[in-house]
Amino acid sequence: MGTKHSSKRSSVVTCLIFLSMGVFYCICEIHVFTFILLPYSGTLPNSTEQLLNHAIPHNPGGLLQMEQRLGCTFDHNLYAANKRRLNPRV
């Protein structure tokens, strides 16, 4: 009867060790991931705008798909005016 009790206790201890290691790993992983990406978070809006400025003229149907997926409406005239402002004809 003593062997059964000690094997149950060792399995509980082993389970608790692995559980605590998993929780520790998750917390460390989130913090490391956040601190690595934090310096790049300021450039994200500019990169996204540049990507959209490049992609939308080549795929006008994709703009409608993005509007439906995001649940918003892009102002096409504002986009065209902004594009003309950024790329004036010389």
Residue-level pLDDT, tens digit, the chain, 90 residues? 555 667 788 899 999 999 999 999 999 998 888 888 888 777 777 777 777 777 766 666 776 777 778 777 766 666 666 676 676 665
pTM of the model: 0.39
**Looking at residue 15, what is its pLDDT?**
95
CB 60 within 8 A of CB 53: no
**Looking at residue 22, what is its pLDDT?**
95
CB 67 within 8 A of CB 74: yes
Delimit the domains of the chain by residue range.
1-42
